[in-house]
Structure 1
Amino acid sequence: MTQSLTDPPSGLTLPVWVAAAARAATQVLCGQTFENPQSLQIPGRDQALGVPVQSAAPLQEGEQALAISHCDPGPGLDLTRDLEIWVQARWRQSQTGCLETDWLEIVPGEGIGRKGREGDLCASDFARRLLEANLRDLVSPGQCLQLEVVFPRGRELAQRTSNAAFGVVDGLALIGTQAEVQSSASPDQLRASLDALQLIAGASDFCGSLTLVIGENGLDLAHQLGLADQQPLLKTGNWIGPLLVASAEAGVSNLLLLGYHGKLVKLAGGIFHTHHHLADGRLEVLAAIALQQGLGVDLIKELLGCASMESALQQLEKRDCAEADRVWQAIAQAVEVRSEAYLKRYGAWPMRVGAALFDRQRQLRWTGMTGHSLLAGCGLGIHLQGGEAGFDPSLR
């Protein structure tokens, strides 16, 4: 049963709104009257979802079609709110005919994130499966459908994300692993993480070790490293402080925090809810620890003037790679010290907290001393290029 336009769905991820526009454009290309709302099939669900589309029309005497939708991510702070989405559909010519595996081609248009300047569309597996599930019935055997997706404001909005830190350029990535938005800053997201934690800790084979991964990139790296084979993984968003306490209460004895350096650096400054709308201070934390590590005042002023954490890291590495590693290892150590201090505010638990930070290439680069020990215990120890990190506990 689809939802009516008088009660349009909200809180849907970007791939859903793209899929609705894509199906509307393809319907028009096929000579049909496009449906509004679009009845979308969601992988893994029996019930279709009604998603409104702004408009759809044929172009070039019916050889192409264009549809437009507007993203509604629901309540909360989300930069994709009211994002206009254009999807242009056309039949792609092929002398040999399209095979079953290549009947759909998705072209990244203006404002769509790519994997590098000449790279492919940056889209999640869910986004691709969603498009395939909702377009296959409109494409006859032997036909090849080409979709060009455009976010007119995508390039501008991408400047306010960390996309570039992970090699995504030119616009917004078409990511999302489910239909509904799960805000990493919402209480519902925290509740879901706490429920997942209870399931993990309550399992009969739970041995007391847990890796708390920050975001999708952390989860992907944890699987690549083989951590999932060694101990349970729990993906979290921005509610790191409450999850630290809940983990200790649940009986976790060894907790590894695995995350992007631009996110975990906030913990080194005592910020345990890491959503950027609530608190930042990352460059200030970097500057304070750089000063403690003996960097000169002139360089620290340059770091404070950088536009982002990534540019600050590049500035440090350009000057002296070994020195940059030493600073970041000190930050990883500070994450551990501050996390243990945070726990002590709420109780006395024997849980050890380790930190492991990765860079924009999703390479594991820096750990605190406990993090290094926990990884080594999993057979995944890394070499600390700058030696043991030094952190002055007085910064607590």
Structure 2
Amino acid sequence: MRITARVGVLVIVVIVNSLVYMSLRQETYNANKLQRPEDLEVFGRLKRIEDQVHKIAKFIDVKDKKVKEPVVKQKITKKIEVKKLYPQSRLFSSWGAELTEEEQMEAERQFQEYGYNVFLSNRLPVNRTIPDTRDHRCTLKIYPNDLPSISVVLIYLNEALSVIKRAVRSIIDKTPAHLLTEIILVDDYSLNEDLQLPIDEYIGLINKDKPGLIKKVRHKRQIGLAKARMSGWEAAKGQVVAILDAHIEVHKEWAEPLLARIKADRTIVLSPVFDKVRFDTLEIIKYNPSAHAFDWNLWCMYESFRPEWYKMNDPSEPGKSPSIMGILVADRQFLGEIGVLDEGMTIYGGENVELALRVWLCGGSIEVVPCSKIAHIERAHKPYSPDLSKPMIRNALRVAEIWLDEYKSNVNIAWNLPLKDHGIDIGDVTERKELREKLKFEE
């Protein structure tokens, strides 16, 4: 109100001064351009007054507009800090910073139950793209058209359904249809609700488009890894059987290099190269080809290939290996001829080393095939057995008793056990020793 009143007064002053100024200018003109000094002085002073009044009026007008315009308050977005509920959990060391407290609770619960990031897995595409980590020379290889057929066996116990779906989808998408006989899902007595009706519905959905492609073997009690793999082998119909974990994704052209090697020599037992899938971010970490060896604990580890492999200077070529890690690909009949796996093994560990010893002693061989790659989730912990040391020791002693003769005491020493009367029940080994005698002609 004050500014408006002031503007009104100034407007009157401007008008009066303007009239005086115009009157004087007119009189000067009418008086035949009267140029008296006093007239010119008055004329100049009035002109300066008018200019100053205009400037003040303009300034007040601007101020008046600013007062009248509504004030727009700037919206400030404050980032809400979410409390970290599990600062010591391995799951959240490099993942999950954006999760709400409720989401953190769900992710941690699933992590403890499965040993990897199920929360993230459930939100990834079933057919996600994974990087091709093969050596460039693998892409140049040409394989025979008449390769043997393959049955893929996936073993699981309380696995996440989304992980199994991703494994199945990758095998279907990346295995030539004319080579893939079937995918056999072996359930070692899972109790998860997702692995009851939901997985059956998923199998039915696939079989609707591809009749008979997916088969399921479900055990009525938990029988352990070796027996579960045996049941998968028994159900297989393909010429070659690939026995894999269910928490995997196969790479492009994973099957062809394996099938080509077995076509060339049916007594070779093969392993692909495993890329690591991180348990927290589920990112793929490239692993370079290595042999699979074992120590006196009869526990597998990565080791260098023999010197001649490195002399070839071609990392796409297969390399001989003392053992396998557990995942294996073999001629189905040859595997049966040498006794498949020792069903006397319990829970986990040792069955792969036992098979390796038998393969080499029976005239076969083991190779790692770099051009066949499989991405494998490495769990942060194995929830189905928090303490694996007991079954591992027991299974190692069983292998030693059957196959190592005078060297079996080295296994006791490695596990820091008495050479005699260690008190550990290794089960009945009669049948496996009879198998050894039966296969003796191959040694």
- Shorter chain as denominator, the TM-score bin is under 0.3
- Considering only CA atoms, is the larger Rg found in Structure 1 or Structure 2? 2
TM-score, length basis structure 1: 0.25
Larger relative contact order (C-alpha < 8 A, sep ≥ 6)?
A: 2
TM-score, length basis structure 2: 0.23
